[in-house]
């Protein structure tokens, strides 16, 4: 039997899939679970998922709709598409028509479908979320990474975008921007959004604005670029992050009317693949998108907790001589261990991957290397998802502080009392670096 056979079968994978591994965000979680099964205490800062429970009002709505068993329309439950359109206007001042909303089993699937149906190059800044580029590779599209810099908080620069598009102005392109960003937590200031919108309009690029972390901007000040480039922007969002419901798998795409043909094409492929998104989940999502007091309260406190943790951890990193600007949203930090390069090299660590592997094996802390996000392998950046704490308990405790600090300010004491695994992991990291 030749080496391309396994048992009786020819190992004959599609060329685009050969050599591709499972997504690193999910792989690190599985690796952490394996280690936990072996009895190790693992600090899980690898997979980026919300630490908070799904709000009770949304869970109750799911209970009430568990009996919904029929296949729903391919594009999504009409009430949900209406609720998303209303939410777009109420929360983000984006005008959208329910007919221009597409519901899918996670925004990840929708981003994939869009890349499949639109024939164009993919342009993404480095660093970017781990899945955009493998999706393009699976489909067979070209990916163009755009350099960014630490000094600019790793954001896409409109002049760089212009420079790329200028080489062949009429070439079809998809640009993805994501903010607050995974893996950095940084967002774009208003002026930059306007400049990016101008560059996108100049070359008629299809802009996917991945705003999955928009509602967990730490001070609730997220602004959608769809306000400045409405005709070419598709806003990608869903329940995973702000509603704590990653495992529910519900994503939304909001299109401008003139891109209805793209939505139609995606719906065709959806109808031949996943059919429709889970019915009970869609009914429950209506409650989430309608918001109301309970949701607003939930958002207020979850944002506050994430902000306070970010402050605490950034301060801890500074104490370790790792300088980092405070992120504005999501639950990620993207520090660079350059300060320790020489010492790390003496122990055989030359890349971010080696750094993460060592930290996992020596300190039991899981995190992801910058190289998974498109950074050069030898750059010592890592992504820390600061989600390993009991979100339910933290949420309850945070409420005691009241609104706007009426009952005292949430600070390091709150973090030490409610986010022990994070505190412990950072203490271990600090001690290890000091002893190098
Ligand atoms: N975009 C970004 C930047 C993400 O971090 C994620 C991870 N959840 C997604 C999209 C996909 O989210 P989902 O499929 O859960 O909607
Ligand atoms: N988006 C999350 C992350 O970056 C995990 C979920 C996923 O990748 O699908 O860790």
Strands 43-44 vs 365-366: parallel, antiparallel or unpaired: parallel
Atom of ligand 2 nearest to the CA of 182: 4
Under a CB-based contact definition with an 8 Å cutoff, are residues 250 and 281 in contact? yes
How far is ligand 2, taken at its centre, from the CA of residue 382, in Å?
A: 15
Q: Which residues of 351-369 are buried (b: 16+ CB within 10 A; e: fewer)?
A: bbbbbbeebbeebbbbbbb
Residues with CB under 6 A from ligand 1: 48, 106-108, 129, 178, 182, 210, 212, 238, 240, 246, 251
Q: 402 C-alpha vs ligand 2 centroid, how far in Å?
A: 32
pLDDT for res 1? 45
Which atom of ligand 1 approaches the CA of 250 most closely? 16
Residue 409 has a pLDDT of 82
Q: Which atom of ligand 1 is nearest to the CA of 251?
A: 16
Give the mutation target among 240, 373, 384 for probing the ligand 1 site: most ligand atoms within 8 A of CB.
Answer: 240
| Integer Cα distance of 202 and 169 in angstroms | 9
Flag residues of the chain having pLDDT under 50: 1
CA 70 to each of CA 19, 275, 362: distance values in angstroms, whole numbers, following the listed order = 39, 11, 50
Closest C-alpha to ligand 2, atom 2: 48
Ligand nearest to the CA of 213: 1
pLDDT number for residue 3:
63
Nearest-atom index, ligand 2, CA of 368? 10
Residues lining ligand 2, Cβ inside 6 A: 23, 25, 47-49, 108, 129, 131, 182, 385
User: Which residue of 182, 239, 373 sits with most ligand 1 atoms within 8 Å of its CB, as the best mutation to test the pocket?
Assistant: 182
Per-residue model confidence as pLDDT tens digits over 191-229: 999 999 999 999 999 999 999 999 999 999 999 999 999
Ligand 1 atom having least distance to the Cα of 182: 3
Distance 47 CA to ligand 2 centre (A): 6
């Amino acid at each position: 039997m030749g080496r391309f056979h396994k048992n009786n079968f020819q190992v004959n994978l599609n060329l685009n899939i050969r050599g591709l591994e499972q997504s690193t965000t999910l792989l690190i979680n599985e690796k952490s679970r394996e280690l936990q099964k072996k009895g190790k205490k693992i600090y899980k800062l690898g997979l980026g998922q919300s630490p908070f429970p799904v709000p009770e009002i949304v869970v109750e709505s799911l209970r009430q709709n568990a009996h919904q068993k029929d296949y729903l329309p391919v594009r999504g439950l009409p009430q949900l598409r209406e609720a998303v359109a209303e939410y777009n206007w109420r929360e983000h001042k984006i005008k959208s028509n329910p007919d221009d909303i597409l519901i899918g089993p996670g925004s990840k699937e929708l981003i994939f479908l869009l890349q499949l149906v639109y024939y164009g190059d993919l342009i993404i800044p480095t660093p970017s979320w781990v899945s955009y580029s493998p999706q393009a590779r699976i489909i067979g599209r070209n990916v163009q990474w755009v350099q960014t810099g630490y000094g600019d908080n790793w954001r896409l620069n409109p002049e760089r975008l212009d420079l790329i598009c200028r080489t062949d102005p009429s070439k079809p392109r998809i640009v993805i921007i994501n903010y607050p960003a995974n893996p950095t937590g940084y967002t774009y200031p208003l002026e930059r959004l306007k400049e990016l919108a101008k560059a996108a309009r100049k070359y008629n690029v299809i802009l996917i604005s991945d705003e999955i972390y928009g509602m967990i901007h730490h001070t609730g000040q997220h602004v959608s670029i769809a306000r400045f480039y409405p005709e070419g922007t598709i806003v990608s969002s869903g329940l995973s992050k702000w509603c704590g419901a990653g495992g529910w798998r519900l994503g939304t795409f909001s299109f401008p009317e003139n891109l209805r043909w793209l939505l139609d094409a995606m719906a065709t492929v959806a109808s031949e693949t996943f059919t429709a998104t889970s019915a009970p989940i869609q009914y429950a999502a209506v409650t989430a998108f309608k918001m109301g007091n309970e949701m607003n309260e939930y958002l207020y406190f979850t944002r506050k907790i994430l902000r306070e943790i970010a402050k605490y951890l950034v301060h801890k990193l500074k104490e370790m001589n790792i300088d980092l600007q405070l992120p504005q949203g999501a639950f990620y930090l993207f520090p660079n261990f350059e300060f320790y390069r020489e010492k790390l090299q003496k122990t055989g660590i030359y890349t971010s991957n080696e750094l993460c592997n060592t930290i996992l094996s020596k300190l039991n802390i899981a995190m992801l290397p910058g190289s998974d996000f498109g950074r050069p392998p030898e750059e010592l950046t890592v992504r820390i998802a600061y989600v390993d704490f009991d979100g339910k308990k933290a949420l309850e405790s945070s409420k005691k502080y009241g609104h706007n600090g009426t009952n005292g300010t949430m600070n390091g004491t709150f973090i030490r009392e409610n986010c022990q695994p994070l505190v412990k992991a950072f203490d271990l990291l600090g001690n290890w670096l000091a002893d190098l």
